[in-house]
Amino acid sequence: MHDDRFSVADTWDAGDMGCGELLIHLAGRVRALAPGQVFELRAQDPGAVEDIPSWCRLTGHTLESAQHPVYRIRRRST
């Protein structure tokens, strides 16, 4: 299901990459965005269901939507 509420600045299909490696790459990709921009991640790893929301809480980014395997993350403002 596509959600048109968010203008997505960049996307990445991480496939079935494990969350440890995925989070390292995700950090760099989100860091490359301007504050407030939305990043769309596709992650098949079953651990993403818990790991992506936790990563967002720890880093201060906003998890705008999470419908596994699609996650939309808004880069924090600072």
Has residue 70 been placed in a domain? yes
Chain segment 2-33, per-residue pLDDT in tens: 555 669 999 999 999 998 999 999 999 999 99
Has residue 20 been placed in a domain? yes
CB 39 within 8 A of CB 11: yes
Task: Identify the CATH number of the domain in which residue 36 sits.
Answer: 3.30.110.40
- Its domain, for residue 28, covers 8-74
pLDDT at 36 over 70: yes
CB 44 within 8 A of CB 69: yes
Q: How far apart are CA 22 and CA 35, in angstroms?
A: 21
Has residue 1 been placed in a domain? no
pLDDT at 1 over 50: no
Domain count, the chain: 1
Has residue 3 been placed in a domain? no
Has residue 34 been placed in a domain? yes
Has residue 65 been placed in a domain? yes
